[in-house]
């Protein structure tokens, strides 16, 4: 089934799409200069004319903006919000990021912004075969983040019904009474919900659910496969942010489509201080793109999301869409280094969710790093929650974990073989992991070195 929310744009020929993008780059840069105090000062201080920025390559010459840049240009550091680029009369909503890495960043959305955000999610929903009449439970916060509200607006555009739970701890009767056809939640929320339903006599495989959307954090393909097995439906990936990324995986599951007419995406290597070629890993850098004549509350040019990704392809997707595809982005803040070799939280998750392990584990885990390489060794303690502690094949789970974790990490494996990295495994009963004692989203890796 090949259906589109905006077929003309989503299937646009590559040459036409590139031309449209460059037209919007020119307009967006001019708009930023005329309306954003930050960008106006930057262009004037660097003696650059906005009219000189006409192409993708020209855009790359502008500075990389970080979260720190935004925080430095808003109260309490300054008297005004220098990235705000519209009058207060035009601001429809005000939003903040979570602030997990410092003072929250402030964003101002006009009603035009909201419609563009909603279109991005609507395209993703339709590409995942959602249609008018679907009923979707949203397990995401209806607060200062934009995700849940954006999905709700997108649903209205398609003709879907939203069940705005906000949390995935809702009563199982919701599933029985309203018969939702989809759920938006993180991988772990979907696993916990499935277990809760089974405990109350409702097999997730026999429920009304036709497809699931995993959002909110990156995940391992192994954990996705496990959720698909629990529910017996496809699980699709979405990636979004308050800054406005909103990329979605179509029903072909061959990468996340970037809505290139609304978001310009590049991949940047901060070590090389340069952009990288397609197929190479780097940080996802985004630029808001406005249609000619459009307005916005907050504009970002070359914004470093601090999430890493790879451009998979700019060729036409089997689903018919022509917009570029990227790999599931990973948070760089969840990447750790041992013996000069990196690993991400997702690598640990993949090792936990080895299929054979899931006969014994719930999927919940946490990892702690201790020690100092300069003084001897680093210890990595992996705690995994067992379904039944007395019937958990611990040695088999350990062996499967180690085999998976080191499979593509020869340097890290050498460190393990030489005793620089020590692996310690801990198995617990349900509810006994340390993160259960702390409010908020579980921190899966804690670096205590």
Report DSSP letters for 349-402, one per residue. Answer: HHHHT-GGGGGTEEEEEEEEEEE-GGGS-EEEEEEEEESSGGG--HHHHHHHHH
Domain ranges of the chain: 1-328, 334-447
pLDDT of residue 100 exceeding 60? no
Per-residue pLDDT, 245: 86
Phi, psi of 139 (to 5 degrees): -105, 65
Is residue 263 within 8 Å of residue 286, measured between CB atoms?
yes
297 and 113 Cβ atoms separated by less than 8 Å: yes
Mean pLDDT of the chain: 94
Write down the pLDDT at residue 243: 87
Of the chain, the percentage scoring pLDDT greater than 90 comes to 86
Cα dist. 369→175, 200, 219, 327, 434 in Å? 40, 38, 20, 27, 14
The 10s digit of each residue's pLDDT in 357-411 is: 999 999 999 999 999 877 779 999 999 999 999 999 999 999 999 999 999 999 9
- Predicted pLDDT at 411: 95
Longest CA–CA span in the chain (Å) reads 70
| pLDDT at position 273 | 87
Nearest to 32 by CA among 41, 22, 20: 41
Q: Which DSSP string do the residues of 117-184 spell out, in sequence order?
A: HHHHHHHHHHHTT--TT-EEEE-S--SSSSHHHHHHHHHHHHT-EEE--SSS---THHHHHH--SEEE
* pLDDT, position 2: 65
Residue 1's pLDDT is 59
Question: How do beta strands 211-214 and 234-239 pair?
Answer: parallel
Residue 337 has pLDDT above 70, yes or no: yes
Indicate the burial class of 286 (C-beta count within 10 angstroms; 0-12, 13-18, 19 or more): buried
The strands making up 263-269's β-sheet, listed across from edge to edge, are 274-275, 263-269, 282-288, 303-309, 330-331
**Nearest CA to 283 among 46, 53, 67, 40?**
67
The pTM is what? 0.92
pLDDT tops 80 at residue 125: yes
- The whole-number pLDDT of residue 99 equals 60
Q: Cα–Cα distance between 98 and 22 in angstroms, integer?
A: 32
Cβ–Cβ under 8 Å, residues 129 and 156: no
Distances 173 to 48, 169, 177, 179, 231 between C-alpha atoms, Å: 61, 11, 6, 9, 17
Check residue 442 and give its pLDDT. Answer: 87
Mean of pLDDT values over 337-354:
95
- Give the three-state DSSP class for 32: helix
Q: What is the pLDDT of residues 309-330, one digit of tens each?
A: 999 999 999 999 999 999 999 9
What are the tens digits of pLDDT across the range 254-287? Answer: 999 999 999 999 999 988 889 999 999 999 999 9
Asked if residue 4 lies in contact with residue 126, where contact means CB atoms within 8 angstroms, the answer is yes
Strands 182-185 and 135-138: parallel
* Residue 46 banded pLDDT, cuts 50, 70, 90: confident
The CATH architecture annotation of domain 1-328 reads 3-Layer(aba) Sandwich (3.40)
Q: What is the pLDDT of residues 127-170, one digit of tens each?
A: 999 999 999 999 988 888 888 999 999 999 999 999 999 999 99
Q: Does the structure show a pLDDT above 60 at 101?
A: no
CATH, range 334-447: 3.30.300.30
Phi, psi of 186 (to 5 degrees): -75, 165
| pLDDT score recorded for residue 404 | 97
Q: What is the structure's pLDDT at 380?
A: 97
d(CA 345, CA 332) in angstroms, rounded, equals: 10
Higher pLDDT, 15 or 241: 15
Residue with tokens 């899931």: 358
pLDDT value at residue 251: 96
């Amino acid at each position: 089934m090949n259906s589109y929310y905006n077929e003309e744009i989503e299937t646009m020929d590559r040459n036409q799409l590139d031309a449209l993008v460059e037209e919007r780059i020119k307009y967006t840069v001019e708009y930023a200069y005329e309306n954003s105090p930050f960008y106006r000062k930057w262009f004037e201080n660097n003696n650059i004319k906005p009219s000189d920025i006409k192409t993708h390559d020209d855009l790359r010459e502008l500075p990389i903006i970080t979260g720190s840049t935004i925080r430095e240009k808003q109260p309490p550091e300054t008297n005004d919000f220098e990235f705000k680029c519209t009058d207060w009369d035009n601001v429809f909503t005000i939003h903040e990021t979570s602030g997990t890495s410092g003072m929250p960043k402030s964003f101002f959305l006009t009603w035009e912004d909201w419609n563009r955000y909603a279109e991005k999610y609507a395209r993703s929903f339709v590409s995942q075969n959602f249609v008018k009449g679907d009923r979707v439970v949203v397990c995401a916060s209806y607060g200062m983040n934009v995700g849940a509200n954006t999905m709700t607006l997108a649903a209205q555009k398609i003709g879907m019904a939203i069940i705005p739970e906000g949390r995935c701890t809702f009563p199982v009767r919701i599933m029985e009474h309203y018969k939702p056809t989809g759920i938006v939640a993180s991988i772990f929320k979907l696993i916990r919900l499935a277990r809760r339903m089974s405990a109350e006599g409702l097999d997730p495989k026999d429920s009304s659910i036709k497809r699931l959307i995993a959002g909110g954090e990156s995940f391992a393909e192994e954990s996705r496969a496990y959720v698909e097995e629990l529910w017996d439906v496809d699980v699709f990936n979405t990636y979004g942010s308050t800054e406005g990324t909103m990329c979605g995986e179509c029903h072909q599951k061959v990468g996340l489509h970037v809505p290139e007419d609304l978001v310009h995406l590049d991949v940047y290597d901060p070590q090389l201080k340069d952009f990288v070629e397609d197929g190479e890993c780097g940080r996802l850098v985004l630029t808001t793109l406005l249609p000619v004549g459009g307005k916005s509350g907050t504009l970002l040019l070359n914004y470093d999301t601090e999430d890493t990704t790879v451009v998979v392809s700019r060729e036409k997707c089997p689903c018919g869409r022509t917009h570029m595809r990227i790999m599931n982005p990973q948070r760089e803040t969840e990447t750790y280094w041992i013996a000069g070799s990196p690993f991400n939280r997702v690598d640990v998750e993949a090792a936990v969710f080895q299929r054979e392990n899931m006969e014994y584990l719930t999927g919940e885990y946490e990892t702690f790093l201790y020690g100092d390489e300069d003084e001897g060794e680093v210890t990595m303690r992996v705690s995994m929650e067992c379904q039944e502690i007395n019937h958990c094949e611990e040695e088999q789970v350990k062996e499967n974990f180690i085999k998976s974790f080191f499979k593509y990490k020869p340097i890290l494996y050498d460190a393990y073989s030489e005793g620089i990295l020590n692996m310690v495994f801990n198995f617990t009963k349900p509810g006994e992991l340390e993160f259960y004692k702390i409010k908020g989203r579980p921190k899966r890796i804690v670096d205590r070195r």
